[in-house]
Amino acid sequence: MPDARATVRTLIASLAALLWLAVAPAAAQNRPPLPDRLTPEVMAVVYPGAERLGPVEGKTRSIAVYAGEEIAGFIFSTLEVVRAPGYAAYPFDVIAGVTVDGVITGSVVLDHREPHIHNDAHREALLDQYLASQAGYVVDGGQPGRRPDFVEGATISARAMRAAIMDSARFVLQDRLGREPVTEPTLDRESFWPMSFEEMAANGAIARLRLTGADVAALAAAEGIPESALPRPIGNPDQVYSDVVVGLGSAMAIARNLLVPQSAARQLSDRPAGTESIIVGSSGRYGVLGTSYNQAETGYRFDRFRIVQGERVFTFVRDQFVTVNAAGARLQNSGAFFVPTTAGFDPLQPFTLEFMINTTGADGVVRPIVVPLPYALPAAHILLPPPAPIPAYVEAWTEARTDVIILVSALLVLCLIFAFQGFLARHRKAFNLIRTGFLLFTLVWLGWTAGGQLSTVHLINYAMAPLHNFDLGYYLAEPLIVIIAAFTLAGLIVLGRGVFCGWLCPFGALQELLAKLARALRLPQWNPPASWQKRLWLGKYVAAVAVVAASFASPDLAAAAEEVEPFKTAITSFFTRAWPFEVYAIALLLIGLFTERAYCRFLCPLGGTLAALDRMHLVDVLKRRPECGSPCKLCEHSCPVKAIEPSGQIKMAECFQCLDCQVEYYDDHRCPPLAKARKAKERMRTARTKGTAISIPPLVPATARVPT
């Protein structure tokens, strides 16, 4: 048989060559044209009620949906717009629809290679329900429908598909409707929705100043102006003297609701380029427009109001004005006034209309009574940049904060176990209780509850991501896996592969717990001879190379090769997949009843990858004595995975750090050197009691023998 180390080195070199040679992603997905993918079943979900479809157009390769002769919305494919990947390195194909107003009409996934959903009918059904819940979501709005964790065990994939739908919808609307993306607060000049006069006054779309005769009399008295100096007699004190209204005519919704259609169109068409429009109107005994704008001696200037914004004061002449009519004849006279943008007027900032009741004293001097009418454009008429989408990894970490705390606490406990393993190993019953308890935690909470099963899929996706589209957020998208992967890497460098394989792998924990049960039931145990075992060990390295090679070959081949890992069936899906997958996983577990951790030792590609890297570990904490291997064979026979060679050395690449050998190492009733020393001490105590002298051979101390 060739040297095992040389074989492993050859396999590792082959794996490295595959990684370096794979400088480009796998062949692009060959999908039928978008119209051919829009079957009646797809259309019923994506855009129900669509009357007819247009051709594929635009940079986004989208299809217009018509209602009569007008475009009502668009249908698009995330594969053709953003080509976003999910948890797998290959982009998925989600077909979705969006109205011209930015409302998602429906979505359905047609193709994907998401590892935790592919070939899983249960999760695929959950994904379909989740995507259906996105209907009615307004692009750049809040979070609709179900949360991504509805697709249990595949939250990252669901979140990625939701983000791709929303990003694609934005791009389609910008492409097909010619809408420039809003990058700063901007006046909404195009949108319209019906509002009554009272609604506009209530929501601030217009500002209104209503003065009765009594109000004007009080203002005049406060200024020391006699009522005789007023431009119009007060008359009935309770009747309206002036009812002034002001609103920003540049906002389409305000102009069209405040004015009759012809006037709304006129103020828009007559407005000079580079100007903003302010609509001013009034009713009552004293109007806001007056007559001075028709008089040459006044310079055709309006003398009954002015606009003040900050330090700037804006007055108007006849050339800056068009007559308009208010809807419902609420205003007797009104006009649209145009302010050049070069004058410094900002339509988004508040301004004040200063209404001037021009009084004339006995000396003929005009003294205005100035009444301010503040105006601030409501937020509904301001377009804001879409809020920066919350990065998927931020949302994931926020939602998983409780799980993160539990996992980090468990890892701290594991660190303490390794730090004080010498103390714990001296107490067999306490250690076995701690060991079994931690394995139960790993299986029940980390695996079945939290879905924290690290697999070769994760390592391959991490390795392939830079070859497609590097994104740091991709590596942070699954909090528990990120933490476990980082801890595994640190443990691999410091202690070896056993930190993960022996303590943090849920499927490994399941096998070991079942093996404990099998021994308790006295089921026969079998381990291959040493010569066979060395050959069988190579199986996991071959599996690792095969899975990686398949991943770079094609998505379908990768999905098939990854099924060599039963993790998705036994842990992530908890045996809810198709029967062939369940039979395979159960068969592996049954074999493990008679040969402990057979899958981990001989077939696991993740274990093969970690074992190949094990030689980099820095610290050997498993203690050995010169007697280990010759003449003592205790640890070799008691190692459940046969990772101790006849020489007494520990094969660290095959060791799961279960610490059983350390329990034997410190047991002075089972370890021959310790038992011999203990018996000698007992004889000495007995001799001292009887007064007899006795010599005790020295105990040979442990050496710095390095495990392999």
Q: What is the 3-state secondary structure (H, E, C) of 289-353?
A: CCCHHHCHHHCCECCCEEEEECCEEECCEHHHEEEECEHHHCCCEEEEEEEEHHHCCCCCCCEEE
291 C-beta neighbours (distance < 10 Å), count? 11
Among 243-257, 291-305, 552-566, where is mean pLDDT lowest? 552-566
pLDDT in tens, 52-72: 899 999 889 999 999 888 899
Question: Higher pLDDT residue, 335 or 462?
Answer: 335
The span from the CA of 166 to the CA of 445, in Å, is 34
Please tell me which of 357-371, 423-437, 541-555 the model is most confident about, judged by mean pLDDT. Answer: 423-437
Does residue 691 register a pLDDT over 50?
yes
Mean pLDDT of 287-291: 92
More confident residue, 18 or 29: 29
pLDDT higher than 60, residue 93: yes
Distance CA 207, CA 455 (A): 64
**Mean per-residue pLDDT for 318-329?**
84
Q: Label residue 327 by pLDDT band (50, 70, 90).
A: confident
Task: Identify the residue with better confidence: 475 or 672.
Answer: 672
User: Would you state the pLDDT for residue 16?
Assistant: 45
Q: Which of 481, 471, 460, 461 is nearest to 396 (CA)?
A: 481
pLDDT bracket for residue 329 (50, 70, 90)? low
pLDDT for position 193: 86
For 24, the 3-state DSSP assignment is coil
Rounded mean pLDDT of 634-641?
Answer: 88
Q: Of 14-23, 508-517, 599-608, which gets the smallest average pLDDT?
A: 14-23
> Angle CA(630)–CA(633)–CA(639) in degrees, nearest 5?
135
Q: What is the pLDDT of residues 221-253, one digit of tens each?
A: 999 999 889 999 988 999 999 999 999 999 989
Give the per-residue pLDDT at 8.
Answer: 45
DSSP assignment string, 161-194:
HHHHHHHHHHHHHHHHH-PPPP-S-EE--S----
481 near 458, Cβ under 8 Å? yes
What per-residue confidence (pLDDT) applies to 89?
Answer: 64
What amino acid is encoded at 230 in this protein?
L
pLDDT band at 292 (very low <50, low <70, confident <90, very high): very high
Tens digits of per-residue pLDDT, 672-686? 888 888 888 888 888
What percentage of the chain has pLDDT greater than the value 90?
46
Query: Do the beta carbons of residue 507 and residue 513 sit within 8 Å?
Result: no
* Greatest mean pLDDT range, 29-43, 491-505, 637-651: 491-505
Q: How confident is the model at residue 15 (pLDDT cuts 50, 70, 90)?
A: very low
pLDDT for res 121: 80
Least confident of 4-18, 156-170, 428-442, 480-494: 4-18
Token pair for 123: 């999760």
Contact 188, 252 (CB under 8 A): yes
> Confidence band (pLDDT; 50, 70, 90) for 699?
low
CA geometry: angle at 642 spanning 641 and 643, to 5°? 95
- CA-based nearest residue to 659, from 440, 411, 431, 415: 431
- 29-43 pLDDT, tens digit each: 467 889 999 999 999
Predicted local distance difference test score (pLDDT) of residue 646: 87
Where is pLDDT greater, at 16 or 455?
Answer: 455
Tell me what pLDDT residue 464 has. Answer: 73
For residue 191, name the pLDDT band (cuts at 50, 70, 90).
Answer: confident
User: Using one digit for the tens of pLDDT, what is the confidence trace for 207-226?
Assistant: 999 999 999 999 999 999 99
> Do β-strands 321-324 and 52-57 pair in parallel, antiparallel, or remain unpaired?
unpaired
Least confident of 42-56, 453-467, 523-537, 588-602: 453-467
Work out the number of other CB atoms within 10 angstroms of the CB of residue 360: 14
Dist CA 65 CA 62 (whole Å): 10
Q: What is the pLDDT of residue 206?
A: 95
pLDDT of residue 7: 42
Rounded-to-integer distance, Cα 211 and Cα 282, Å: 11
Whole-number pLDDT of residue 269:
74
Return the pLDDT at 468.
Answer: 62
DSSP 642-695: --B-TTS-B-GGG-----HHHHHHT-TTTSHHHHHHHHHHHHHHHHHHHT----
Tell me what the mean pLDDT of segment 511-538 comes to.
92
Where residue 469 falls among pLDDT bands split at 50, 70, 90? Answer: low
Q: What is the pLDDT of residues 591-625, one digit of tens each?
A: 999 999 999 999 999 999 999 998 888 888 888 88
CA gap 250, 271 in Å, rounded: 9
Question: Is residue 262 exposed (0-12), middle (13-18) or buried (19+ Cβ within 10 Å)?
Answer: exposed
Using the predicted structure, report yes or no on whether residue 165 has a pLDDT greater than 50.
yes
Phi-psi region of 178 (alpha: psi -120 to 50; beta: other; left: phi over 0): left
| Residue 594 confidence (pLDDT) | 94
**Which whole number is the average pLDDT over 367-394?**
87
pLDDT, position 23:
34
Alpha-carbon distances, residue 212 vs 35, 102, 242, 259, 648 (angstroms): 67, 46, 7, 25, 106
Task: Name the more confident of 646 and 327.
Answer: 646
Mean pLDDT over 134-152 rounds to 73
What is the rounded average pLDDT for all residues in the chain?
A: 85
Distance in angstroms (rounded) separating the CA atoms of residues 309 and 374: 10
At 145, the pLDDT band (50, 70, 90 cuts) reads low
H or E segment to which residue 213 belongs: helix 213-223
